[in-house]
Every structure is written in structure tokens, then in C-alpha cells.
Amino acid sequence: MPNVSAGEMTDEVGSAQEDVASRLQELGLGPWDVVVLLSTVFLAVVMPIEAVFDDLDAAWIIVASAVISIVLVADMRRRYAALGSGYFGAWFTVDVLAAFPFDLVAEIPGIEGTSAGSVIRILALLRVLRVARLFVLQRRWRVQTSLNPAVLRLVFFGFWIALVAHWIASGWIALDGFESGPADLAPYQSSLYWTITTLTTVGYGDITPIGPGQTYYTMATMALGAAMYGYIIGNVASLLANLDVIRSRHLQRIETVNHFMRDRQVPRELQARVRDYYNYLWDSRLGQETEMLEDLPKPLRVEIALHLNRAILEKVPLFRGAGEEFFRELVLHLEPMVFLPGQVLMRRGEMGHRLFFINQGEVEVWSRDDSEVLAVLSDGDFVGEMALLSSQPRANTVTATEYCNVYALGREGFDRVLSGFPEVDAEVRRIAEERRLESTQES
Amino acid sequence: MPNVSAGEMTDEVGSAQEDVASRLQELGLGPWDVVVLLSTVFLAVVMPIEAVFDDLDAAWIIVASAVISIVLVADMRRRYAALGSGYFGAWFTVDVLAAFPFDLVAEIPGIEGTSAGSVIRILALLRVLRVARLFVLQRRWRVQTSLNPAVLRLVFFGFWIALVAHWIASGWIALDGFESGPADLAPYQSSLYWTITTLTTVGYGDITPIGPGQTYYTMATMALGAAMYGYIIGNVASLLANLDVIRSRHLQRIETVNHFMRDRQVPRELQARVRDYYNYLWDSRLGQETEMLEDLPKPLRVEIALHLNRAILEKVPLFRGAGEEFFRELVLHLEPMVFLPGQVLMRRGEMGHRLFFINQGEVEVWSRDDSEVLAVLSDGDFVGEMALLSSQPRANTVTATEYCNVYALGREGFDRVLSGFPEVDAEVRRIAEERRLESTQES
Amino acid sequence: MPNVSAGEMTDEVGSAQEDVASRLQELGLGPWDVVVLLSTVFLAVVMPIEAVFDDLDAAWIIVASAVISIVLVADMRRRYAALGSGYFGAWFTVDVLAAFPFDLVAEIPGIEGTSAGSVIRILALLRVLRVARLFVLQRRWRVQTSLNPAVLRLVFFGFWIALVAHWIASGWIALDGFESGPADLAPYQSSLYWTITTLTTVGYGDITPIGPGQTYYTMATMALGAAMYGYIIGNVASLLANLDVIRSRHLQRIETVNHFMRDRQVPRELQARVRDYYNYLWDSRLGQETEMLEDLPKPLRVEIALHLNRAILEKVPLFRGAGEEFFRELVLHLEPMVFLPGQVLMRRGEMGHRLFFINQGEVEVWSRDDSEVLAVLSDGDFVGEMALLSSQPRANTVTATEYCNVYALGREGFDRVLSGFPEVDAEVRRIAEERRLESTQES
Amino acid sequence: MPNVSAGEMTDEVGSAQEDVASRLQELGLGPWDVVVLLSTVFLAVVMPIEAVFDDLDAAWIIVASAVISIVLVADMRRRYAALGSGYFGAWFTVDVLAAFPFDLVAEIPGIEGTSAGSVIRILALLRVLRVARLFVLQRRWRVQTSLNPAVLRLVFFGFWIALVAHWIASGWIALDGFESGPADLAPYQSSLYWTITTLTTVGYGDITPIGPGQTYYTMATMALGAAMYGYIIGNVASLLANLDVIRSRHLQRIETVNHFMRDRQVPRELQARVRDYYNYLWDSRLGQETEMLEDLPKPLRVEIALHLNRAILEKVPLFRGAGEEFFRELVLHLEPMVFLPGQVLMRRGEMGHRLFFINQGEVEVWSRDDSEVLAVLSDGDFVGEMALLSSQPRANTVTATEYCNVYALGREGFDRVLSGFPEVDAEVRRIAEERRLESTQES
């Protein structure tokens, strides 16, 4: 988990679970799908247990098994309705096997107890195969949801490992492996304990195989454990790293810069200012927009940019009357910029080419002789409109008093957009004129 | 296995195995090579067993050993015929040792039972060395087949680990290590069980070494196990990641975009549309072509592009009569593009520079006043030819009604190709003229 | 730890610890924060121990518990003063629970020994939750200090693992797990031994669970151990690799170049010279500046560049009188360059465009007929000023006699900076004139 | 070891060992350094053993200890001579401690057996510290040799692990841990066996700690084992991957291309041709040059390029008389190119701009009517000189008959180089004239 503390992970997992609840819709799971899904998991868990315990005929299992058969048959009808004859492939066979109540048939008097009954009892394990559907689900969810794929992998990963451990423990019961376990444990407890001890490669050795059958089973479990372990470890790093890709990259950059500055003995105070800059950049999430947007086709780009910047534009009193279409045109011409405390946005006498929308932060407009502050502008204000409207040099110097997150609108883009919206154009000119009069009076 | 579910992996492995069968030819393995290969593996497995069990002189092993000697001598003749004196290097020695039936010589009455017989019995282990040939094979296959190299590595990896475990178990038998094992197991079973327990670092401790010899052997096995484990884990991640390189990259992109959108609270509906776009891009496999093609020299580039696009071009009625040469020229000028539902391909009144071949999808041609749909064009149709032939503005607006996968042919490229094929040129002009008349009648 | 020896690591860790001491200020930890931090850790360690040992009522623990309650209440007041009502969130609850002396209440006569007393004893475990504050600390430190983040992660990592092991051992005591341990160990010793044996997956098996409770606890510990192990391994590589990111990259480049040269059988002597070049580049830390600086906004860029180069500029006698402002302008126009032994800086007769500041190294100025060395210049000297001031060809050839680290100042940048500082301009011209006269006399 | 078979690894390691022998010089190790190095390792191995076995006073150890003290004192004198007073730092202390024969002093009658003797015996462990010098050596070698750094790391890695295991085993002896081991093993055998069992996390449990001392020691060893394991695994992947960086990259490219082609169902035959192309590119090592060279400063670039191409240029009969200086100029203007079988190098009638040097491969020069092959040119020949010398169109078509590795010399570069070497210019013109006459006669 490079650069992601356990605390963040917990948050991430927590909010992800919330998401799971609120997004069943998004995941394409109606109530019916959830029922079918739970039925499938139930079969995967209970069938192996039923197969190894001959005398496990609790009423509720029989009822559940029957209900699930009905549910799955109903689901097959639904699927056939949706897919038509395209349904009769491999999945159809799997669905039929899962829907057939082998375990109930084996309990029918006359069959129960006979060798045919024993075979049917084993065949009931075929119902487990349906759990492979979850692979399909996992693959679909990976691309179709906004859920963090790393969290999704983590959840499925845990599920599969738990299920495999359960299966291995069931097999160990079938081989009577629990008999060499501690006397004070139930067979399943003893078998699961052996499974976990072996799969995690801890290997206490208090339960060891007796006879060739158990020995071969143990060797297979060990080999599987080693492979799974390798697989898990190989995955964990990338998994956790991906929990928060973008933050990771940010921290790595700070890391490198820190290293460089320490190495070149840059003074502490200056180091702190450089770090401040990067952290401000991160907190305000600037700079990610550009990268993200240029990958998209234009229609989507406009919509994303509009979502991100509309709030800013609507803060500007000037545009309050402007319509949707105006914003659509404008957003693509905005360029995000950052100014540091004390940095100059515009200097008196220079020719200006840009109007600045102050998204967040505070700037000071200085008098002509730079002796006093005429105005303090902040979030939602704009500055620099005079030089844009007429070809005059900047009348005042403007400096940032704190970190400022600013959107700059270049003259060319400005003119192009305004030309299409005469009513907004008029409004802009009116306000600009007002300001010009104000500043003339003051001087 | 970042982003590749176990299900996909199974598919991959399954289809890979099929490939192995159908591609023995491609792997450069004739029937004879397969025989030699199996003989080599047989020696690697059986020789250690023969060396540790003094009384293992089953008839079939003796026959097999003799047959293999003959096979390997015949293979040496074949090799000499192919390589000439270049063959008398290190591999020649290995081949001679493998072909010599040490184990049979040791059974000759008069030698059997003497100390010379014991030495010869040990020397038979030299026959095992020939298995090193498999390294050569593995290296050659890696570059010469279209088999997924990750799958290849996985298969060889499993083979080598199993073989090494077998050898270690044989050594444990030679040291009488099985004697401290459970009484109900055969010596080989007990030894293999000990080997797996130790190599996987499970270490039950039910079989432990007795005396210095077994202790040193155990330490070496443990160290090897640890190294192998480290090696396996270090490999598994990259291995599984490479099972599906391109899909991995696609999912990573979606992951990053999802993260960004969630972070900036882009509305769900818009998020879904952005994901849809990326998934469409993926399903239609656009965008990979360009990357792939620009790496190749021109002759190969033409052939690949031709393979990919010929079907598209042949759908265009206009080109049905055109020959191979025309397509060869044309394919290099096609540029793949994607249009979103509702996006405008061309707008009435704009000057057009491109002809669009609709590869897959549906577009609507609007009347001059944009009030009604004149025509719906889809797969295999083309649109925009008028503005290309004469320097007129587009007569109609054309919009996509669904995701459209389109190949654009720029005017410059178009003219250059047509100029070389006068008969196709004529046909194009004829059809264009027809259409112009149609649209004139309609207006 | 790619390319970083254990020795370097030790150094790194050592100097990091020094840093921790001297930078408590930088970490934002006043003496009070340290007291609160230690109190929190104390609770996390002692509360579980108190909960499992009924008779652990040593006087010092009671006093410590009371003092900590007072400390934490005081800290809550301080926090409330700082945050106002924003403080009443999840953390407030955690702080209240940690400040409440459950363990002392349970000792009050009349409560002690009753079932309510036992419950309160368990509730004391809630005081442990406050340790989660450390996540917040860890996250803040990661971005706000110049401490190597990899070292920080390593330290926190070790802390969390030790704490979790301590908690698991406490739980094992609560389940009486130590009773099956060796008789010669105290309960805590036995439990911690069992915990470490299990978490590291060594699993001697000399202490094994008895009864279902201990068995489930053991399984959970094993699963946690396996996950933690995977997590550790997945982290270690990136952790150690990041201890020295930049050096790593340098070594990797040499590695690739070495490989290439060995492969193409470049003569040993030439290989050595290429390696020398890369090592010189590394030792002088050139080339990292550019990368680092172009990422920063201009105000910070100037300050960093000024820090790096001021010493160089101040060595140049010519600029000794120049003020801060001059250096600020100049530093952005300097371009770092490297010359190899024997390489020509300027050749007689060529038109010159650059003044070279010799940062480190030695160059020879040759006479007009290249027969003798007129002057040897080294650190702090500058050369090439004549051709810069007037449009003449270079009068002399200048060659490097060893590796030279040089800053070049192009004519354009030079003129631009000098124009703003007339007094420095005059001084430069005066010295240039002197030199011209010198060289005229010599010729 | 992505894409590197065990066989290649063995080769690599083997050739590396050879290198070690032949490059002691290059490593900066004179015979004296080797003696000092071996002494240091001897101390690191023997001192712990001496400390734990009270009665280990074999004559040869006493002699060796004395000799080593003398050797190290001599080495200190040598070092002082080289470093002067700069030597009196931390290393000086370490050297003094290593040189002082504590173990001999402890054996002096009158000291031996007393408590002072025991203390001095323990102090002898300080002599081990000198092994830290190996870190310095490892770091220096990493950058100064052409030895594969990955192999170097592997070797040092094995060395350190073995040494640490030896130290831990010695500590276990000191704690009498071997007493609970099997009776048939010597104390050291038993202790080393316990160490390996614990460090590899196998943990048979046949030797378990007795009493608090051994228990704490065991816990520390387990924790160290887990950390080391994590460290090893984290390293192995990058280590093995780096054994052959360039080949790795090549295989990865083929992998991606294979995947793409399989996915798009490119015909088998075409797939094979694309793979052939990449393999040819790899075998001829083209394309790596450019990348490598552009990173170097010009003087080194010329020398490397000269080394790589001189053989090619010297094959060209035309340049045989040309001197070193001519080649130095020419090599920088050569551009490596590849032609596929059947591809056209030049087409009759086109204006030519390049002379082709055939480095390896065969081309056919066709008659003017393309009906017959006039000449077959191969390695060391050149073609296309006519169109370069005069501004005529190509007189003949030239096609490759197999993969051709060609260096192209553009007209501009050609003229620039020739202009500086009139005698080579004349020779080129003479041969060109001869050829022109030949072709005229034939037509």
C-alpha cells in the first residue's frame, strides 16, 4: 500500500460498502438477481457439506434446496426469454445441473441408503458449478461501475479464498482427516482448522495425514496453498497501490522533490514553501483536469468541463443572465492557473491579454502609484477586463495575497465566445464602463 | 493477476492447450521430435528412481531404457547430419551420456552386485542431464510462436518445480529419510510428502531428519524452498499480469478516469456515458491499430492494414470491382474515428474534406432545413463524397444515431489513390453523379 | 532494496532518526503534543494487559491511568478552543472514551469484583481507539516534512506490527491459551511467543489451540498473519526502492549502458570512460536541476536556482559588487554543461556566443598558434567574454584538462540581464578591456 | 525472471564468475587487497564460533588469528600512507578493533579462566565489525565495473544471508539451545539446523526454545526471518528481471504484438512474418544503437559509433585507404536501416538521395527493363552512388533478396564529410566513373 495509510484504506473500504448498497441498481442487480445470486452462493457452500455428512438431513436444508431449485428454474425461463436459443450453450447445462435437486432425490425413500443414492448424493456437487457465474459478474462489474476496481477485486478475492478453504475442509472430512484432530473439536471445526493451518503454510503439525489418501490430499493442499500465497502476495501490492492511484502519484512527486532539495541542502524554509505549493496544487485538484479531458471526444469533454466549472462561472455576476449555451462555449476556453502569495497577476503598464476569474483566493488591486490597495477581490470576482476590451495597458498592478486558484480567459477565446452572444457582450461592456468611471474618479 | 479474473485465466489456459495441439507444427515439432522429447522427460523422471531403489528391475523399465537408448542414438545421427562437425560441442557430450544405457550395463550378470555395478548405477544419473535441452526449447518457443508467452512460462514453470520436487524426494529416499515417516506410506510417498511439506515451508514436523546427512540435506532443501518461493512469488504477478496485457491497460485507464470523476463528483449519468465511451472503444478495438502499425516497416504495415480493413472496403459497393492493388494503396490512407450518439459527422454549409466509410453504426442524413431525415446509412455505406469531388460546401447535415466506428479518407489521400486507378475513379464519379441528381430531385 | 546496500540503509535510518529529533518543530509537535502522543500509545499498550490480568492493580498503573485521563481532558479543551463546534464529530467521541478512566472506576470498592466491574474493565478497551489518531499524524507528516517518506513508512509499519502482535498475545492470554505453553514461561511470554510463531508462519506447533474458542482465534490469527505477510512483502520492495529514488535511476542507467557495451564488445578502456562519464554526471549532480526546476512556478524557481548557483556566481570576481537583484535575473539564464577531459570549449576562429563560468574543473587557454598554454583557468574563473562583448571570432582555443562542470551564459540572456544593471555592465567591460590588452601584449 | 530461462541464468552466472577472475584488476583488487578481504571474512566467520566454544583453542586458529592481526596492522599502515590524517575517523576505530588479537590475549596464562578472560573473549566479537567494509566494496563495484549489477547483488546477497545465519546459529549455541536438539548432531549442526528451519519459516518444531532467554531469541529470529523473507522476495523479481534488461524488453514487445495479431485473427503466415521481422531486428541488434548514443556527449559518441561501424566501413573497398579521421567524421552520418526480403531499396527513375552500405544481406541490381539481374551485391558492397554524385534519377531498381541490414548515408552528410577529405573524394569519383562505364556497356 504505497503511500496509503491503513486509515485511508478503511475509509475507502467503508465508503465502498456504502456504495455497494446504493448502487445495486447501477450494478444491474434487480431484487430477483440478488435472490438468484444468494441461491448460487448457498449451493456452493451447502452442497459439499451435505455430500460429506451422510446424516445431514435437517428440515431447513431440504426446504432451502427445494426452494432454490424452483428459483433457478424460474431464472432459466427468464434467461431463455431474454436470450432465445442462444442460451443453449455451456451455461445452459450448468444451470440445469444447478437447478436439479440431486440432494432431495437422494433422500427419497427407496433410493436413500442404496448405492444409487450414494452416487446421486455425490452428483449433487455438480450444483456447485453454478458459482462460476460470479466470474462473469466480476468481469462485468469491473468495467461498468464507478466502484473502485481495486476494492472490488479485494472483495471477490476474499470471497473466493474463503470458499476454496471451505471446499478443502469438506474434502478433509470426506477423507476422515478430522479423526486425527483434537477430540474436543467438531469434525468441521477440526477440518477447517487443518485447512487454514496448511494453506497459510503455518503448519503446526498437530494434525497430520494418515494413510496414502490423506497424504496425497495434504500434498495437493500444500501446493495449492503455496500457489495461492504467491498469487496473493503478487496481487496485494498492486491492489493496494491502486486504491488511490492519483494520490500515490502526488506523494511520489513530493518524495522526489524532497529528496532533491535535501540532497542540495536547500534551506528548510524554502523547502517548506515548495512542499506547500505542491500540497496546494493537490488540495485544489488543479492540473488533473487537463490530462483527463484531452483523452475524451469533444461532446463529453464539454459536459465534463461544464460540470467542473459552471459553479465558478455562475459566481461571476456578469454572467448570471447568460444561458446554458454561453457556458458551453466558454468552458473550453478557460485555462486553470495558480498564483503564489505575493505573485503578480498583472503589472501596471504591461499590455494585458487575459481576464482572470478568481475561483478561490484573494488578490489586491493597487493604486497607480502602488502606494495603497484600491480593492480586494476574491472568490467569484474577476479582474483585468479593461485591457481586454480596449487595447490599453493595464491600469493597476494586481497581486495575490494568498494561494489563488484562477481561471484565465485569453482575449482571442473571449472575443470568439462573446461574438456569438450579443446580449452578454452588452452586459460585459456596461460593467466595464462602470468600473472605468470608478477608477477615473478615484485617480 | 491484475484485472484478469480466474475465469478468464481458465479460458486462456484452455485455449492455449488447444493451441499447443494444433500448433506442434508451428513449434517446429515433428512426430520424431515429440518422441525424443518424451524420451528425455522419461529419463529425467525414472533414472533417479532407479538409482535409489536397488531392486527396481521391472521388465518394462529395462525395455524402455533400451528403446530410449536406440531412439537417442538415432537422434544423434540425425543431428550430426544437420549440424556436421558443429555438433561436437557440449551438447554432443550430453547426448552421448543420455544415450548410453548405464542402467542396463549395471544389470549385466557379473557386474550386478559388484561395486563397479553400484558406480555404474550412479553414473546412470548422467542420463538426466539431457533434460537441459528443454531450456533451449523454451527459449526458442518464446520468440517463435504466437502462443501467449506468459502461458508458456506458467507451463514450463510447473514442469520444472514438479521435476525438482521429484529429484529431492529421490534423494531423501537415498538417505533413508523415509524410515522416520509414517509406517503406512510407501517410501516414495513418504519422501514426496516430506519434500512438499518442506518446499512449501509448511513444515508439519512429523518427519524430521535423523543424523548429520539427513540434516544437511534438509537444510539445503529448506534453503532451496525459500529461494524457489521467493522466485515464484516474484514471478507470479508479472506472469498473470501479462496474460492479457492490453485488457489490463484498458481497465487501468477506466480505473483512473473513474477515480477522477468520483473525486470531482461528476453526476452518475455523465460518469456512465464516459465509461460507455471507453468500453465502446475497447469492444471495437479501435486505437490499437495505429500504435501497432507504426512500429512495422512499410511492406508488413500494408499487409496487416489490408487484413484488418479489406472487409470494410469490400462492403463499399463502389469498390467491389477494384482490385487488390487498389486496396493496398487505399488502406494506408484510412483513419479510424469514433462518433458518439448525437455527434455531428458533417454540418451543412461547412467545407468538407473527408469521405466517411461507415464501418459499423448508423447515421442520419438530414434535409437542407434540418427538418426531416432524408436517409439512414449504416454498415458499408459511405457519405460525404460530394464535397470531396467538387469544392462545394456540405449539402446536408449528418449525425450519428448510435456509436459509430468510421474510417475517414482525407481528400489528399483520396485523390492520390484514385489517380492511379482510372477505372475506379470513373465508377466513383458515376455514383456521385447519381446521388447528386437524387438530392437535387428531393430538394 | 534495489541498488541500496544495507550499509546505506543503516545510514539513512540513522540520519532520519536524528532528523526526527531536530524536526519535532517541523512536524508540528510541541512538547504538549508529545505528551498526548505518548499517553495515547501508553493506553494502546497497557489497556489490553489490564483487561486480561484481573489482579494487575500495581500502583503505578493506577497513577498513570489517572494522569493520562487528566492530560487527555486538557487536550480536549485545547482542541475545542481551536476547532469550536467542528470538534463534535467522530473524533470527539473517541477522545471522550479515551479520557474516561474506566479502569479506575472498575477498581472502586463496591464495583470491583461485581459483574458491573467486569463489564467496565472490558469497556476500558475503548480507550485504545484513540491510537487511530496516529493514522492522521502519519498522513499529515507524509506531505509536510522533508523526512524521507519511505523511512517514515518503515517506522510506522514496525510500530503497527508490534502493536498488533501485542494485542493478539493479550487475546491469547484472555483465552487461557498460554496454559498449553511451556511451564517455564510467564503467561505473557508464552502468548507473545505463540503469536510471533503463528504470525510469521513459522508454526513450530509446540503450542496448539485447545477447544473451539482457541481454535477459531488461531485460525483468525493465521489468516491475519498470511494477509499481513503478503502486505509486508508487497510493500518492502517499493519501500526500499524509494529510500533512494534518484540513485536507483542512476544505477539503472549505468546497468543498461553496461549491458549494451558488453553485448557489442566495446573495448574495456572505452567502457570505463563511458562509466566514468556517468559517474561524474552523478557525483556533480548535474542534470537533475533542470528536471526539478521546470516543474515549479517562476517565483519558486528563481529562489531554488539562486540557492544552487549563488555560490558559483559569487566566486566570479566580476560580480562581487553586484547585488541580490542581479543574481536573481542571472540565475535563470545559466545552462549547466559538462566537458570531458580533452574536449574543446571554444575553437579559435569560430564565432562565439557564450560566456563560460567554470564551476568546477580546469581549462587551458591556448596561444594563437596552439603551441603553448597561455593560461590555466579553474573554479570561479570565466572565459569567452571577448567574443560576447564584440562580434569577433574567438581569439584562442580553450580545452578542458579534466571533467569540467561549467555554466554557460548565452549572449542574448547576458545582454538582457546586463542592460538592467549598468554598474555591473561597466565593470564587465573594464575587465574585458584589461584582458584584451593582456592578450595583445602577449601576441 | 521474466523471460529469462534458468539456462540463460546459469550461463550468465557462469560467465560472470569468469569475469570476476579476469577482472580483479578492474575491480581495483590487488593481491594484497584479496588477502585483507579474506582475513576480514575469516574474522567474521571464526570469531563468533570462538566466543561460544570455551575450549576451542585449536593451534591453527591461534596462528591464523595472529597472522591476521599482523596483516591488518600492515593494512592500516598502508591506509594511513594513502589517506593521511583523514583516516582517523570511524573506520580507523573499526580497523584497530579488528587488528587487536583479543582472542589471543584471552588465552594468555593468568588471564585465561579469569572473569577478565571471559570479558576479553566476548570483546573479540568486535573484530567482526570490519566485515562492514564489504558494504563499501559492494557500493564501489556497483558503479565501477562492467559486471552485471544484478549478478553482483545476487552474490553479495547470498553471502550476507549465509553469514547472518551463521551468527544466529552461534548465538543459539551460546544460549545452549542445541541441548534440546537431536542427540546425534554436534552442537553447531543442531544450531544451524534450527536457524535454517526458523529463518525459512518452515518451523518443524523438533527443536523449540526452553526458558525465557531462548524464547526471546527465537522470537527475534522469527521476526528477522520474516523481514528477510519479505526483503528477499521483494528483491528477487527486480533482480532476475535485470539479468537481461534488453532481451526482456524485446520479448515484451513480441508478446504485445502477438496478442494483438491473435486478437485480430491475422493469418498465421503473416503473424510468422511479423515475428520474423522483430527477431531479425533483435538478432542484428539494430535500433539499440541510436538510443544508447544520443545519451552520450559527442566525443564518447564518436568513439562508440566508430567501434560499432568501423568494421563495416573498412569492408567498403572504396574507403580502404581512408584514415582514422575520415571514419570519425563519417560514422556520425550513418543511419541504420532494415530491408525485408523483396523490399525495394531504390526504384529506377526516382531521384536518389542516399548511398547504401550493405552491412549484412544480399541485394539484386536489376537491368533497366527489370527483366534480369545485372549484379548481386552483398556484405561490404555499396550501391546508389551514381545518383548521389550527379543529380540523375536512379538508373536501376535494387531489391533485397533476404533481410538486409544496411547503413544509409544521406547526400548532405556525404558531401560534408567528403569535402574535408579530397583524396577519398577523388577515389570515390574514380570508382563511380568505372561503374557508370560498366552499366553503359551493358545497356
Q: What is the pLDDT, as a whole number, of residue A73?
A: 94
Written as tens digits, the pLDDT of chain C (443 aa) is 344 444 444 444 545 555 555 566 667 778 888 999 999 999 999 999 988 887 666 788 888 989 999 999 999 999 888 888 888 888 899 999 999 988 888 878 888 778 888 888 888 899 999 999 998 888 888 767 666 666 777 788 889 999 999 999 999 999 988 888 888 889 999 999 999 999 988 899 899 999 999 999 999 999 998 888 777 766 665 565 555 556 666 777 777 787 778 777 888 888 888 888 888 887 776 666 666 777 788 888 888 888 877 777 776 666 766 778 888 888 888 888 888 888 889 888 888 788 888 888 899 999 888 889 999 998 878 888 766 666 678 888 999 999 888 888 887 887 888 888 888 888 877 877 777 777 666 54
Q: Which residues are bridge partners to C398 per DSSP?
A: C346, C365
Most confident stretch, A75-84, A433-442, D246-255, D315-324:
A75-84
Q: What is the pLDDT, as a whole number, of residue D164?
A: 95
Q: Which residues have a Cβ under 8 Å from the Cβ of B401 and sit 6 or more positions away?
A: B341, B342, B361, B362, B363, B364, B376
Q: Which residues of A touch C295 (CB under 8 A)?
A: 253, 257
Q: What is the pLDDT, as a whole number, of residue B106?
A: 82
Q: Which residues of A touch C303 (CB under 8 A)?
A: 270, 273
A443 contacts A375 by C-beta, under 8 angstroms: no
How confident is the model over D183-202, as pLDDT tens digits?
888 999 999 999 999 998 88
Rounded-to-integer distance, Cα A292 and Cα B274, Å:
11
Place D417 in a pLDDT band, splitting at 50, 70 and 90: confident
B243 contacts B148 by C-beta, under 8 angstroms: yes
Q: What is the pLDDT, as a whole number, of residue B9?
A: 44
Question: Is there a contact between B148 and D258 if contact means CB atoms under 8 Å apart?
Answer: yes
Nearest-neighbour CA in chain C from D86: distance (Å): 20
Residue written as cell 512469488?
A: B233
Rounded-to-integer distance, Cα A357 and Cα A310, Å:
12
Please give the residue of chain C at the shortest CA–CA distance from B205.
C204
Number of residue pairs across C and D with CB atoms under 8 Å? Answer: 171
**Could you give the strand order of the β-sheet that contains B334-339, starting from the edge strand earlier in sequence?**
B334-339, B404-410, B354-360, B382-383
Query: What cell numbers appear for C307 in the block?
Result: 540557492
Cα C220 to Cα C187, C195, C227, D20, D369: the distances in Å are 21, 12, 11, 50, 85
Q: What is the pLDDT, as a whole number, of residue C336?
A: 81
Cβ under 8 Å to C: A residues 149-188: 182, 184-186
Angle at B261 between CA B260 and CA B263, to 5 degrees: 65
Mean pLDDT computed over D216-220:
94
Q: What is the pLDDT, as a whole number, of residue A7?
A: 44
User: Does the structure show a pLDDT above 50 at A3?
Assistant: no
Please give the residue of chain B at the shortest CA–CA distance from C198.
B202
C-beta atoms surrounding A255 within 10 Å: 19
Cβ under 8 Å to D: B residues 308-327: 308
- H-run or E-run covering B406: strand B404-410
Question: Is there a contact between C258 and D146 if contact means CB atoms under 8 Å apart?
Answer: yes
Q: What is the pLDDT, as a whole number, of residue C25?
A: 66
Q: Which residues of A touch B6 (CB under 8 A)?
A: 135, 160
Mean pLDDT computed over D207-235:
86
pTM over 0.80: no
N- to C-terminal Cα separation, chain D:
60
Bridge-based pairing state of the strands B362-366 and A398-400: unpaired
User: Does the structure show a pLDDT above 60 at B246?
Assistant: yes
Place B76 in a pLDDT band, splitting at 50, 70 and 90: very high
The candidate with the shortest Cα–Cα distance to D76, out of D45, D38, D121, D32, is: D32
Mean pLDDT computed over A153-174:
91
How confident is the model over D129-172, as pLDDT tens digits?
999 999 888 888 876 766 666 677 778 888 999 999 999 999 99
User: Does the structure show a pLDDT above 50 at A10?
Assistant: no
Mean pLDDT of chain A: 81
Q: What is the pLDDT, as a whole number, of residue D192?
A: 94
Cβ under 8 Å to D: B residues 238-277: 238-239, 242, 244-246
Cβ under 8 Å to A: C residues 129-148: 132, 135-136, 138-139, 142-144, 146-148
Mean pLDDT computed over A261-283:
82
Mean pLDDT computed over A133-146:
79
Nearest-neighbour CA in chain B from D116: distance (Å): 36
Nearest-neighbour CA in chain B from C94: distance (Å): 28
Q: Which residues are bridge partners to B336 per DSSP?
A: B407
Q: What is the pLDDT, as a whole number, of residue D3?
A: 42
Q: What is the pLDDT, as a whole number, of residue C289?
A: 67
Phi, psi dihedrals of residue B244, rounded to the nearest 5°: -150, 70
Q: What is the pLDDT, as a whole number, of residue D441?
A: 64
Lowest-pLDDT range, A368-372, B322-326, B390-394, C51-55?
A: B390-394
A partners (3+ CB pairs within 8 A) are: B, C, D
Lowest-pLDDT range, A139-153, C340-354, D252-266?
A: A139-153
Who has greater pLDDT, B125 or B306?
Answer: B125
User: Does the structure show a pLDDT above 60 at D5?
Assistant: no
Mean pLDDT computed over A186-201:
92
Mean pLDDT computed over D373-395:
79
Which among D189, D256, D278 is the nearest to B215, CB-wise? D189
C-beta atoms surrounding A341 within 10 Å: 16
Mean pLDDT of chain D: 81
Who has greater pLDDT, D67 or A261?
Answer: D67
Q: What is the pLDDT, as a whole number, of residue C69?
A: 94
How confident is the model over B56-67, as pLDDT tens digits?
667 888 889 899
Q: What is the pLDDT, as a whole number, of residue B268?
A: 81
Q: What is the pLDDT, as a whole number, of residue D8?
A: 45
Q: Which residues have a Cβ under 8 Å from the Cβ of B227 and sit 6 or more positions away?
A: D232, D236
Q: For chain C, say whether D195 makes contact (Cβ under 8 Å).
A: no
Rounded-to-integer distance, Cα C337 and Cα C410, Å:
12
D partners (3+ CB pairs within 8 A) are: A, B, C
Three-state secondary structure of C100-156: CCHHHHHHCCCCCCCHHHHHHHHHHHHHHHHHHHHHHHHHHHHHHCCCCHHHHHHHH
Question: Is there a contact between A235 and B1 if contact means CB atoms under 8 Å apart?
Answer: yes
- Whether the predicted interface score ipTM is above 0.85: no
Question: Is there a contact between A149 and B277 if contact means CB atoms under 8 Å apart?
Answer: no
Helices B211-242, B187-199: crossing angle, 10 deg rounding: 60
Percent of chain B at pLDDT exceeding 70: 82
Helix/strand number for chain A, H first, E second = 18, 8
**Which of B259, B282, B338, B402 should one mutate to test binding to chain A, selecting the residue with the greatest count of A CBs within 10 A?**
B259
Which among B138, B212, B231 is the nearest to D236, CB-wise? B231
How confident is the model over B138-195, as pLDDT tens digits?
888 876 766 666 677 778 888 999 999 999 999 999 998 888 888 888 999 999 999 9
How confident is the model over B166-175, as pLDDT tens digits?
999 999 999 9
Rounded-to-integer distance, Cα D439 and Cα D443, Å:
6
Q: Which residues have a Cβ under 8 Å from the Cβ of C77 and sit 6 or more positions away?
A: none
User: Does the structure show a pLDDT above 60 at D210?
Assistant: yes
Q: What is the pLDDT, as a whole number, of residue A310?
A: 78
Q: What is the pLDDT, as a whole number, of residue D289?
A: 67
Percent of chain A at pLDDT exceeding 90: 23
Mean pLDDT computed over D375-392:
76
Mean pLDDT of chain B: 81
Query: What cell numbers appear for B425 in the block?
Result: 475513379
Q: What is the pLDDT, as a whole number, of residue B193?
A: 95
Most confident stretch, B44-48, B135-139, D52-56:
B44-48
Which among D201, D205, D233 is the nearest to A205, CB-wise? D205
Helices B245-263, A149-174: crossing angle, 10 deg rounding: 120
Mean pLDDT computed over A43-68:
85
